[in-house]
């Protein structure tokens, strides 16, 4: 694989290779098996894949979170080296390279940017939209792979692609988990060992919530989740919502469920001082 840090180098290589479709996997580094599954997905579909590693400052509403965000560049390249092919490219730009000038663009996503993560991380998805449009403009991918782990981000990216008329095809990859069920995340390595012992309850709880849907109403399921999470030492529930996959409208009653939509239970928990998110498909049988 080739490793480049400037837009010029990247675009030069892509032009020289002249392969299509171009696959793209944007990441913020501190890579794990979840990221690797996205890269493999891209490799299976495309003769050339670009993986970007860029911690995007504009999507961090909390500057402490940005400062503490893990960075493991050597390990990242080691992992990518194992699976990427000779022609594939790792793009590791500086902030200056992505934002030569301050990005003042404001994006509108209606309800998508008015629920769940958006309420707890104001401005986060505007930053996501800024970096995604910028990276798409630079890489010009035919296919981009995103993880189901960031379910709301995925809905935002799909809406963004529609709004901008970009022809890129968005592919979704399933959530990769640790053996104990914890969804893999770059932030997991920041968990204190004592707290780490308790976080598998997050996936256990949303799995139980998914099982409850046939015989219980939504408010019962929500109070079950909140009681179970909040009684676990070190954990605090930020939200649990069951939303549809298009508009992300939180369900209040089962009767609101539409046949042509998929429903997903989305959770955010603070574990010590680390925020973790996860989700699970919820379907009536
Ligand atoms: P990040 O580096 O956290 O910005 O994530 C980069 C991409 O990897 C996003 O599309 C995430 O949804 C995806 N991703 C992160 N964790 C996982 C996971 N455990 N399983 C699958 N995809 C993931």
Same domain, 80 and 148: yes
User: What's the pLDDT at 205?
Assistant: 98
Helix (H, G, I), strand (E, B) or coil at 117: helix
Per DSSP, the three-state class of 19 is coil
Inside any domain, residue 80: yes
Contact 82, 54 (CB under 8 A): no
**pLDDT value, residue 38:** 98
In a domain, 250, yes or no: yes
Listed in order, strand segments (DSSP E) in 28-150 are 48-53, 89-91, 143-147
Question: What per-residue confidence (pLDDT) applies to 285?
Answer: 74
Active site residue 120: no
Q: Final residue of a domain: which of 146, 173, 200?
A: 173
pLDDT of 207 reads 98
Contact 267, 117 (CB under 8 A): no
pTM: 0.97
One pLDDT digit (tens) per residue for the chain, 285 residues: 999 999 999 999 999 999 999 999 999 999 999 999 999 999 999 999 999 999 999 999 999 999 999 999 999 999 999 999 999 999 999 999 999 999 999 999 999 999 999 999 999 999 999 999 999 999 999 999 999 999 999 999 999 999 999 999 999 999 999 999 999 999 999 999 999 999 999 999 999 999 999 999 999 999 999 999 999 999 999 999 999 999 999 999 999 999 999 999 999 999 999 999 999 999 987
Q: Are 170 and 158 in contact (CB under 8 A)?
A: yes
Do 261 and 223 form a contact (C-beta atoms < 8 A)? no
Q: What is the CATH number of the domain that holds 153?
A: 3.40.50.620
Cα separation, 244 vs 3, whole angstroms: 39
- 125 occurs within a structural domain: yes
Do 98 and 65 share a structural domain?
A: yes
Nearest CA among 215, 217, 259 for reference residue 242:
217
- The count of structural domains within the chain is 2
Domain extent for 257: 186-282
Q: What's the gap in Å between 31 CA and the centre of ligand 1?
A: 9
For ligand 1, atom 14, name the residue with the nearest CA. Answer: 147
Ligand 1, CB cutoff 6 Å, lining residues: 27-28, 34-35, 37-38, 146-147, 149-150, 173, 175-176, 183-186
Q: Which pLDDT value is given to residue 284? A: 80
Q: Considering the domain boundaries, does residue 178 fall inside one?
A: no
Reading the block at residue 227, the tokens are: 């009681």
Q: Which of 32, 35, 120, 262 is catalytic?
A: 35
- The CATH number assigned to the domain holding 258 equals 3.30.1300.10
């Amino acid at each position: 694989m080739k490793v480049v840090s400037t837009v010029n180098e990247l675009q030069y290589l892509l032009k020289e290779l002249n392969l299509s479709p171009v696959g793209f996997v944007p990441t913020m580094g501190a890579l794990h098996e979840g990221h690797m599954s996205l890269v493999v997905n891209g490799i299976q579909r495309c003769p050339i894949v670009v993986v970007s590693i860029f911690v995007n400052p504009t999507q961090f509403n909390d500057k402490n979170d940005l400062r503490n965000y893990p960075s493991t560049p050597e390990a990242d390249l080691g992992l990518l080296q194992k699976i990427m092919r000779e022609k594939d490219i790792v793009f590791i730009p500086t902030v200056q390279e992505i934002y030569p000038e301050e990005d003042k663009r404001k994006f509108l996503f209606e309800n998508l940017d008015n629920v769940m993560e958006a309420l707890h991380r104001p401005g986060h998805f505007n930053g996501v939209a800024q970096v995604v449009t910028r990276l798409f403009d630079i890489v010009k991918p035919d296919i981009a792979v995103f993880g189901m782990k960031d379910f709301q981000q995925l809905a935002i990216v799909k809406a963004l692609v529609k709004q901008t008329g970009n022809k890129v095809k968005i592919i979704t990859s399933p959530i990769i988990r640790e053996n104990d069920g914890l969804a893999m995340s770059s932030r997991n390595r920041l968990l204190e060992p004592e707290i780490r012992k308790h976080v598998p309850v997050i996936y256990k709880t949303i799995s139980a919530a998914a099982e409850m849907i046939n015989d219980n109403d939504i408010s019962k399921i929500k109070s079950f989740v909140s009681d179970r999470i909040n009684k676990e030492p070190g954990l605090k529930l930020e939200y649990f919502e069951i939303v549809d996959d298009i508009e992300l409208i939180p369900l209040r009653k089962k009767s609101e469920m539409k046949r042509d939509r998929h429903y997903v239970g989305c959770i955010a928990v603070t574990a010590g001082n680390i925020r973790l998110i996860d989700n699970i498909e919820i379907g009536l049988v």
